[in-house]
Chain A
Amino acid sequence: MSALGGPAKTAGVQPPTGMGLVISIVLIIIAFALAYFLLQIAGLLAVVGITVGGILIGFGVHFVPVGGAPAAMGQSPGIATGVPMLASGAGLAGLFAGAWAAPLGLPIALASGAIGGGLLMAITCTMVNIIYIFGMGIPAASGKVDKDPITGDTFPEYKTQGTEGHGLPFISWVGGVIGGALGGLGGTLIYLEFLDIYQAQMPALLSATGEQIAPIAISLAGVFAIGMFLVNAVLVAYNIGGTIEGPHDPKFKRAPRAIIASAVASAIAGVFAIGLLELVGVF
């Protein structure tokens, strides 16, 4: 326990504290009330959608197997890069695909965003395994579990002594794809909510037609969606604390805390993003 009296640092479960829960709920209610005050029911629905998108991103990042520098040296399992880098890469590829499919309707845009993120992670994880196996000669071995929950492969006999495991087991591959898909889904949902709000608000505000406003609305929505993505990815990176192996890692049980934090951050940032136009109108 730290000198400031924070929660005890344990490797696995770190549940949210009571005080944190209360403050989070109050902040979310304030954000929702502000949204209703600014744009009535449309604003409230948009902020709820943005919050759900943020939760999806925050939860999805926990699935992505990130090993950091030790993974690059063959000393721990996972993908050898940082949490925000990989998670935002996958989510933004999803956003790219989702925004492209946006004119085809909400379900197709959301599915396309999810597949876009999942596809990036599928290709990246496969190439990482190719490099691990053919370039470095490292077979997959998890350090956190003895048996792959999906394929049933056993790991202890393959694990090199003096490492925390190495390579990218199949469960981590599946986790990466799920994480990328959830990130792409959340990012696309946030983008579509912003786009709806901006397309409804801007023509009256700038006294122009909807077609003239479309490029600005799309750019603004895209910029804010990327911003929301980075907020959530970095937030969750702190919760994970460097490395995670995927859904089988004990650290995965920390997810509830990150989900609450993502919800609060998304709701507040979302209110500021949709309230921006109101401010422009006031001045």
Chain B
Amino acid sequence: MAMQMNPILAIVLGSALAVFVQGVYATTAYLGRTASLAKFEQPVYIDILKSMTTVTMAHAFVAVFATVTMCHLIISALGHPFPLPLLGLIWGIALGAAGSATGNPFYGKERQYQHQKFGAGVPISASGNIVRYAEAGERNSLDNGFFSAKLGGPASGICFGLIVFFELWRTVIFEPLAAGWGAIIIGVVAILIFAIIDRYIEVWARKTFGPYVVPGATEEVSS
């Protein structure tokens, strides 16, 4: 905006720059991890470098563009006092917190690909005991990304969307009420509603899954 540029064009240019940073991160993370842990003799899959890096970069473009556009709208349409870079930092970290918190578990223990029973945790001794379900009998990062995207991605998106929606909605609609206290009261009510939802599904899980039972003989045969 300081260069008198159209904001949409500026956001596109900024996202395009961020894409290359993401590409560098993705490449160095994959190669660096494999190289620094060379004692495990893991191969470097050129497939992953060729197909995964570009997909990650494209994904970064979408993510950065959406987040920066949202921050721009918060400033220009809703009048938040913070400048764009500061808002980008704030919502970027909030997005990281929400996405990491919600997306990580699904990546770590995906029900369909685990030998473990649904309705229990994973014993440490069974860590990494994942069914090789891909075509050649082994799975690489491509397949991991695919199955994580099924539920982990949308759930992270809903989580971040709910956060942004409730933060903005309660302020924009209810701040004029009760000399500013309206937004705070609605925030407390929203927190209480989420507490009830959380408690309900927690009790539902306890009833549905039941107490933990040691895996029986039949399951040991199947694994």
Contact = CB atoms under 8 A, between A and B. Distances in A.
A72 B93 contact: no
Interface stretch (A23-31, A51-59, A151-159): A151-159
Contacts of B46: none
Contacts of B107: 72
Contacts of A270: none
A240 interface: no
Contacts of B86: 219, 222-223, 226
A127 B155 contact: yes
18 contacts: A73-B122, A75-B123, A80-B104, A80-B108, A85-B96, A93-B167, A122-B190, A122-B191, A124-B101, A127-B101, A129-B201, A131-B105, A133-B202, A139-B202, A140-B202, A141-B212, A153-B206, A226-B89
Nearest to B196: A126
Contacts of B105: 71-72, 74, 80, 128, 131-132, 135-136, 138
A281 B211 CA distance: 67
A177 interface: yes
A33 interface: no
Contacts of B127: 73, 75
Interface stretch (B36-44, B137-145, B179-187): B179-187
Interface of A: 69-75, 79-82, 85-86, 88-90, 92-93, 95-97, 99-102, 104-105, 108, 111-112, 115-116, 118-120, 122-141, 151, 153, 157-163, 165-167, 169-170, 173-174, 177, 214-215, 218-219, 222-223, 226
B202 A129 contact: yes
A89 B90 CA distance: 7
Contacts, number: 259
B194 A126 contact: yes
B96 A157 contact: no
Contacts of B163: 93, 119-120, 123-124
B111 A135 contact: yes
A108 B187 contact: no
B146 interface: no
A115 B209 contact: no
Main secondary structure of the interface of B (DSSP, over half): helix
Contact of A122 (B183, B195, B205): B195
Interface of B: 80-83, 86-87, 89-91, 93-94, 96-98, 100-102, 104-111, 116-127, 151-152, 155-156, 158-159, 162-163, 166-167, 170-171, 175, 179-181, 183-184, 187-188, 190-191, 194-195, 197-199, 201-202, 204-206, 209, 211-212, 214
Given A89-B97, A96-B90, A123-B163, A160 B175 contact: no
Given A99-B81, A129-B202, A135-B151, A163 B124 contact: yes
Contact of A161 (B151, B191, B214): B214
Contacts of A88: 93, 97
B123 A162 contact: yes
A229 B148 CA distance: 31
Given A74-B116, A100-B171, A132-B105, 14 more contacts: A71-B104, A71-B108, A74-B108, A86-B97, A92-B90, A118-B187, A119-B190, A120-B94, A123-B98, A140-B206, A166-B122, A167-B205, A218-B82, A219-B83
The 3 lowest CB-CB distance pairs between A and B, nearest first, are: A89-B97, A162-B123, A72-B108
A100 B81 contact: yes
Contacts of A215: 81, 83
B98 A89 contact: yes
Contacts of A80: 100-101, 104-105, 108
Contacts of B122: 73-75, 160, 163, 166
A74 B187 contact: no
Nearest to B120: A160
B97 A112 contact: no
Contact of A123 (B93, B110, B123, B162): B162
Contacts of A79: 101
Contacts of A102: 81
